């Protein structure tokens, strides 16, 4: 699960998956058409742009080059979502201006962590816990 902490976020993906919108997000816009990326950027002026690499695989280089060469886009942080790590593509995306890359394994829900007493109660039987709970004289 990705928790986005930016005031204005633009997500370019076929559908919203694994992005948790936090209460401090003032504007969260999702688009799926590649032709509406730059009009949407001019409309909402996002602080963060999240791109789905697998969806934009044919156009991602052109989009990133346009974002990196235009000085009016310099304050936009760019994140990219990919299914898995690739030794040649990921460094190339970083050189094109991607600030952070999320992978499919980042989208999984984090397990709920238990404290030590909850963990021990799962291991011990109830009669043993009752004996431990009785005061010793």
DSSP assignment string, 64-111 = HHHHHH-GGGTT-EEEEEESS--TTHHHHHHHTT--EEEEGGGGSPPP
pLDDT greater than 60 at residue 112? no
Check residue 111 and give its pLDDT: 54
Domain assignment of residue 106, yes or no: yes
Q: Which domain holds residue 109?
A: 8-118
The number of folded domains in the chain is 1
Q: Which residue has the higher pLDDT, 27 or 80?
A: 80
Q: Which residue has the higher pLDDT, 137 or 57?
A: 57
Partnered with residue 51 across adjacent β-strands are: 12, 80
pLDDT greater than 70 at residue 53? yes
Domain assignment of residue 126, yes or no: no
Residues 6+ apart with CB under 8 A from 99: 77, 78, 79
Domain assignment of residue 125, yes or no: no
Domain assignment of residue 133, yes or no: no
Average pLDDT of 91-99?
93
Mean pLDDT of the chain: 79
Check residue 28 and give its pLDDT: 81
Average pLDDT of 32-53?
92
Domain assignment of residue 23, yes or no: yes
Domain assignment of residue 135, yes or no: no
Task: Give 130's pLDDT tier (boundaries 50, 70, 90).
Answer: low
Check residue 108 and give its pLDDT: 62
Domain assignment of residue 128, yes or no: no
Average pLDDT of 121-136?
54
Express as a percent the part of the chain with pLDDT over 70: 66
Domain assignment of residue 80, yes or no: yes
Check residue 121 and give its pLDDT: 53
User: What CATH number should be reported for the domain holding residue 43?
Assistant: 3.40.50.2300
């Amino acid at each position: 699960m990705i928790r986005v902490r930016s005031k204005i976020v633009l997500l370019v993906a076929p559908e919203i998956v694994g992005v948790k919108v936090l209460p401090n997000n003032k504007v969260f816009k999702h688009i799926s058409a590649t032709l509406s990326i730059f009009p949407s950027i001019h409309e909402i002026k996002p602080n963060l742009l999240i791109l789905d690499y697998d969806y934009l695989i044919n156009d991602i280089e052109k989009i990133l080059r346009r974002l990196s060469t235009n000085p009016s886009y310099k304050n936009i942080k760019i994140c990219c979502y990919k299914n898995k790590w690739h030794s040649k593509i990921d460094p190339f995306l970083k050189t094109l201006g991607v600030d952070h890359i999320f992978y499919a394994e980042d989208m999984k829900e984090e397990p709920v962590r238990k404290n030590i007493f909850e963990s021990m109660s799962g291991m011990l039987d109830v009669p043993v816990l009752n004996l431990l709970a009785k005061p010793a004289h």
